[in-house]
């Protein structure tokens, strides 16, 4: 860059989600408006007030070696699945291990293993607890597993920033390359926490949709009749490279990661602060060297909660304006928590590549307080040169990414 910033490009994409087990199938589903939300079929859901979730379309055990999978928490399994896809998609870059880093964010990490192994201890005794319990439950487990898979020795990092984790991981990947600490970074997020405890907790907080009779219609970002989000699971990772390094090896670039902004609200443990969100968006613009008018598309965080969607809509309108085409793919995937921001970035990248923005599913009646150009009714075609992807999390975590055509 003329201003001295190091150019960073995205060369690989990987994902496993409720709408598809890889990037191609997930993207096709998003453009087709297909929902990945369904009833939870396990008996443990029978007594819960919310009995719907976004479960993975393809089980990780269908992809991973059986012995390897048994030693990993579900969150680690899906991080590895997505990382392998992203790495292969990037052409398996040959790089010095000490110039390869990993950043995989998560909201709660191996909570399924934590709860399952505590149940083993309680019912059958301490000697029956798996020797892999601690490696499975630790939040840095996904980053550790991915780093060992590819021999990354420039750092294995784990932002734990609730639902901003995946986007913050990508922002950290940008920083690692710009600071000269790595040439290649595998970055993104993973989450697998569909469990009676997490569902009960979110339900008690009145955060979840209760449309048990219509699962596919439950997640309704920006719709006037929205009543909460739908818990989902999944992983989304990208391969970031220093642009000169990627060019030297003849790599294809999907997009440039032009900028990122990360802020904290210091305001409320669950409610978002528009000021903090706007600061993140503006910091991303500054980092990218762009103006609000340069942004063609926004992938909104938009979880489908009554207060959250309006807060974000106001933040976008104030910081960017009302001109970009806005979408919210959680209407189809549900809220993948720590992976959501990374999946939003992948959606924005593919909008740049293909010149099309997915429509928001279940958006029948746009909330009058949402003063944005939200895509509804069907995908919208048109050139996307620059896109903003937002991710916000409990605790006042805000992360905004800006992707541009390469």
- Look at strands 156-157 and 184-191 and give their pairing: unpaired
Q: Let me know: does 340 contact 106? Beta carbons within 8 Å.
A: no
| Sequential pLDDT tens for the chain (406 residues) | 446 689 999 999 999 999 999 999 999 999 999 999 999 999 999 999 999 999 999 999 999 999 999 999 999 999 999 999 999 999 999 999 999 999 999 999 999 999 999 999 999 999 999 999 999 999 999 999 999 999 999 999 999 999 999 999 999 999 999 999 999 999 999 999 999 999 999 999 999 999 999 999 999 999 999 999 999 999 999 999 999 999 999 999 999 999 999 999 999 999 999 999 999 999 999 999 999 999 999 999 999 999 999 999 999 999 999 999 999 999 999 999 999 999 999 999 999 999 999 999 999 999 999 999 999 999 999 999 999 999 999 999 999 999 999 9
37-40 long-range contacts (CB < 8 A, ≥24 apart) are 37/215, 37/216, 37/218, 37/219, 37/230, 37/232, 37/332, 37/334, 38/215, 38/216, 39/212, 39/215, 40/194
Angle at 75 between CA 71 and CA 81, to 5 degrees: 85
Is 335 part of the annotated catalytic residue set? yes
What is the C-alpha to C-alpha distance for residues 20 and 38, in angstroms, rounded to an integer? 14
From the candidates 163, 193, 299, 337, which is the catalytic residue?
163
What is the C-alpha to C-alpha distance for residues 143 and 11, in angstroms, rounded to an integer? 19
What is the C-alpha to C-alpha distance for residues 305 and 86, in angstroms, rounded to an integer? 31
Burial class (CB in 10 A: 0-12, 13-18, 19+), 215: buried
Tokens of 80: 């590895």
From the candidates 297, 299, 301, 397, which is the catalytic residue?
301
Return left, alpha or beta for 81; rule: phi > 0 is left, psi -120 to 50 is alpha, else beta: alpha
Tokens of 130: 């798996």
- Look at strands 386-393 and 380-381 and give their pairing: unpaired
Q: How far is CA 41 from CA 10, 172, 244, in A?
A: 38, 38, 49
Write a three-state SS string for 12-26.
EEEEECCCCCCHHHH
pLDDT of 93 reads 97
pLDDT of 3 reads 62
163-186: buried (b, 16+ CB within 10 Å) or exposed (e) per residue? bbbbbbbbbbbbbbbbeeebbbbb
Nearest partner of 236 among 11, 8, 13, 10, judged by Cα: 13
Residues forming a β-bridge with 326: 298, 374
Nearest partner of 343 among 65, 38, 78, 77, judged by Cα: 78
* 237 three-class SS: strand
Q: Sheet of 373-374: strands edge to edge?
A: 156-157, 100-105, 184-191, 234-242, 8-16, 255-264, 397-404, 386-393, 297-299, 325-327, 373-374
Give me the helices (H) in 249-364, please: 274-288, 306-319, 330-333, 340-354
Please count the residues of the chain.
Answer: 406
Give backbone dihedrals phi and psi of 151, rounded to 5 degrees, phi first: 70, 35
All structural domains of the chain with their residue ranges: 8-397
From the candidates 297, 335, 337, 397, which is the catalytic residue?
335
pLDDT of 110 reads 97
pLDDT of 2 reads 45
What is the C-alpha to C-alpha distance for residues 217 and 230, in angstroms, rounded to an integer? 10
What is the C-alpha to C-alpha distance for residues 187 and 169, in angstroms, rounded to an integer? 6
Tokens of 166: 């995946």
Angle at 29 between CA 23 and CA 30, to 5 degrees: 90
Classified by CATH at the fold level, domain 8-397 comes out as Peroxisomal Thiolase; Chain A, domain 1 (3.40.47)
């Amino acid at each position: 860059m003329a201003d001295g910033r190091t150019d960073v490009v995205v060369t690989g994409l990987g994902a496993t989600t409720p709408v598809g087990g890889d990037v191609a199938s997930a993207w096709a589903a998003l453009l087709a408006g297909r929902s990945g939300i369904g009833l939870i079929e396990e008996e443990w859901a029978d007594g819960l007030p919310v009995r719907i979730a976004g479960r993975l379309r393809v089980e990780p055990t269908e992809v991973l070696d059986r012995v390897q999978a048994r030693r990993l928490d579900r969150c680690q399994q899906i991080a590895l699945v997505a990382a392998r896809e992203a790495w292969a998609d990037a052409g398996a870059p040959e790089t010095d291990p000490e110039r390869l880093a990993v950043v995989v964010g998560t909201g709660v990490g191996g909570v399924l293993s934590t709860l399952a192994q505590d149940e083993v201890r309680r019912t059958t005794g301490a000697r029956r607890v798996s020797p892999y319990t601690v490696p499975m439950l630790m939040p840095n487990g996904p980053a550790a597993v991915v780093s060992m898979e590819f021999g990354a020795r420039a750092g294995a990092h784990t932002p734990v920033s609730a639902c901003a984790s995946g986007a913050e991981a990508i922002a950290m990947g940008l920083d690692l390359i710009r600071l000269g600490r790595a040439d290649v970074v595998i970055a993104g997020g993973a989450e697998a926490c569909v469990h009676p405890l997490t569902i009960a907790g979110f339900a008690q907080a009145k955060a979840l949709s209760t449309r048990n009779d219509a699962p596919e219609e439950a997640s309704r970002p920006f719709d006037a009749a929205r009543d909460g989000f739908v818990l989902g699971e999944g992983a989304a990772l990208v391969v970031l490279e220093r642009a000169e390094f990627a060019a030297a090896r003849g790599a294809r670039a999907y997009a440039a990661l032009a900028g990122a902004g990360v802020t904290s609200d210091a305001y409320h443990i669950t409610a978002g602060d528009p000021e903090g969100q706007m600061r993140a968006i503006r910091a991303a613009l500054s980092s990218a060297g762009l103006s609000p008018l340069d942004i063609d598309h926004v992938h909104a965080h938009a979880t489908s909660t009554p207060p959250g969607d309006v807060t974000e809509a106001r933040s976008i309108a104030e910081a960017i304006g009302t001109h970009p085409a806005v979408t919210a793919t959680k209407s189809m995937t549900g809220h993948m928590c720590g992976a959501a921001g990374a999946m939003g970035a992948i959606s924005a990248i593919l909008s740049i590549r293909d010149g099309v923005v997915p429509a928001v599913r279940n958006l029948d009646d746009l909330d009058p307080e949402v003063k944005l150009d939200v895509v509804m009714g069907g995908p919208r075609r048109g050139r996307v040169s620059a896109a903003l992807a937002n991710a916000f999390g409990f605790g006042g975590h805000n992360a905004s990414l800006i992707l541009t055509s390469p």
